Chains A and B, each alone.
Chain A
Amino acid sequence: MNARKIAVAGVLSAVAIFLGAPPLHPGFIPWFAGASLTIMAAPVIIGAVLEGPVVGTIIGFLFGVSSLVEAAMAPAGPTDAWFTNPLISVLPRLFIGLFAWLIYRALEKRNLPTALVLAGLGGSLTNTVLVLGMLGLYGYLHWGLIVTIAAVNGAPEAVANAVLTLAVVAAWKRVAYGRKKGAQLE
């Protein structure tokens, strides 16, 4: 690992930890009925897209560990109790970076903005599916309820992460996209 990968891994992990940190949980975008869309997967995806799957996995690991500790020390809701189990909070997050990177690599040569959006969707859905999957395997939630949550919460969350991934990476790489083709930066 070179210095750049280390620095990106450390800094983006800091962002992921900050977004989930109590008491304000900045990374929670209010949805309806008290639920939120969480965008903590975005730094993981961005790290994987920019610096590779190892960096993505490390950021995912630190994100998972921070959610484990935060759930035990300062629980903010009933669901935090589940996240004291590392198989639910840490293990699924290890794969966000890998899948996001795979999708990005497959598509980046063809169309960069599309690759970013799909990597964002894929990474976020990996998080949703694996976390909810572990909850189902543990019997903490009925499978029917899990599917409902995945659709009602997981899908919009994937869109949110995808939009953020596209916006940040395109801004960082100075790539124009969309109708307005970004700001005039040169």
Chain B
Amino acid sequence: MEQFDVASTLQFARYVPGGSPLHRLHPGAKALLLLFGLAALIIVHGTAGLVLALALILVVTLAAGVPLAVPLSSLARALPWLLVIVVVQILTVPSARWGADYGGWWIFTLRGGQLYTAVTSLLRFADLILFLGLGSAVTRVDELAYAGEALTSPFARFGLPSRELSLIITIALYFTPLFSEEAARIRKSQAARGADFSTKGLGLLRRVRAYLPLFVPLLVLALHHAENLARAMEARCYTVKMGRTRLHTYPVRSLDVVAGGMAAAIVALAILHPAHGWDQTVQALFGPRG
């Protein structure tokens, strides 16, 4: 009967409660750190920066009181897949073909440059996974919704729907587990009406049509929910004009401004990238360039 029960536990953002300074930061500051941290991790291209980032993330995770097991378990789950794509990348992508030659076979070659790219890619993915794990461990769901509004509110005067964004995120997070139950219910009732969801040996159009009895009712139901929600909001005179108040306010403290400044500094550091010397030393280990 498992095929009828779409899992009701949709936990993908794992919050670890705590009282550390990181936990108590303003949601906007957390979002800035998250965004700029991600940007920095994407921009940095040398092993020095990536190793430094790794150390920094682990230190901050410990300082926030988040047990290292939490982000490291996500990394452990991803590790087999990381190795697969890194192997695919180093064996087939031509741009990394520099450095010491370790031979080749058919369309595959193995050179030092490819190994260097493999190491850098692995480090970058590990950094991204650990960083996102840390971010979701210290951010509550309601802070998440407010963070979107906090970050985009300066741009609201240019037409960006900033206040609406936090409401949309809240609505989305509210309805997601509901659709999990609805989908299970729809699957069972369609099966009772004789729908067959197996797709073995079927062509494209027939496969898609096999799933229509599940997805069309689900999406139409979603639109009905939206219609009812919109009517309820209008009946309560909901308006998006300025002057709305919040139940939970998030005052900005000096620590939050400092955190925002640090976020900008991290990106600047990633762009300016002072550790060129060390990168060149590491690259030289993999053989001559050019």
Contacts and interface: CB of A to CB of B under 8 A. Distances in A.
Interface of A: 1-15, 17-18, 21-24, 26, 29-31, 37, 39, 42-43, 46, 50, 54, 58, 62, 66, 68-70, 72-75, 77-82, 84-87, 139-142, 145, 156, 159-160, 163-164, 167-168, 171-172
A14 B78 contact: no
Interface of B: 6-7, 10, 12-14, 38, 42, 74, 77-78, 80-82, 84-85, 88-89, 92-96, 117, 121, 125, 128-129, 132-133, 136, 161, 164-165, 167-176, 178-180, 183, 199, 204-205, 207-209, 211-212, 215-216, 218-220, 222-223, 225-227, 229-230, 233-234, 238, 240
B174 A6 contact: no
A85 B168 contact: no
B96 to A, nearest CB: 7
B240 A1 contact: yes
B260 to A, nearest CB: 19
B170 A10 contact: yes
Contacts of A43: 219, 222
A139 B251 CA distance: 44
A21 B176 contact: yes
Contacts of B205: 159, 163
A7 B229 contact: yes
Contact of A167 (B81, B171, B216): B216
B216 A62 contact: no
Contacts of A11: 171-172, 175, 222-223, 225-226, 229
Contact of A72 (B129, B212, B220): B129
Contact of A139 (B84, B96, B170): B96
Given A7-B227, A85-B42, A171 B233 contact: no
Counting chain A CB atoms within 10 Å of each CB, which of B82, B172, B180, B234 scores highest? Answer: B172
Contacts of A142: 92-94
B208 A168 contact: no
Given A30-B199, A68-B132, A82-B85, A159 B208 contact: yes
- Which applies to chain A's interface (DSSP): helix, strand, loop or mixed? helix
A150 B128 CA distance: 26
Given A15-B179, A68-B132, A139-B95, A8 B223 contact: yes
A159 B208 CA distance: 9
Contacts of B225: 7, 11
A22 B8 CA distance: 10
29 contacts: A3-B229, A6-B164, A6-B240, A7-B225, A7-B227, A7-B233, A10-B170, A10-B175, A11-B171, A14-B176, A29-B199, A29-B207, A37-B207, A42-B215, A42-B219, A43-B219, A43-B222, A46-B219, A58-B161, A62-B168, A62-B172, A70-B12, A75-B81, A139-B95, A140-B93, A160-B208, A164-B208, A168-B215, A168-B216
Contacts of B183: 18, 26
Contacts of B38: 86
B13 A69 contact: yes
A145 to B, nearest CB: 7
Given A9-B168, A72-B132, A172 B223 contact: yes
A18 B179 contact: yes
A10 B167 CA distance: 8
A180 to B, nearest CB: 13
Given A69-B132, A78-B84, A87-B42, A4 B172 contact: no
A167 B220 CA distance: 10
Contacts of A39: 211, 215
A80 to B, nearest CB: 6
A169 to B, nearest CB: 9
Nearest to A15: B222
Given A39-B215, A72-B132, A78-B82, A6 B175 contact: no
Nearest to A70: B12
Contacts of B10: 18, 21-22
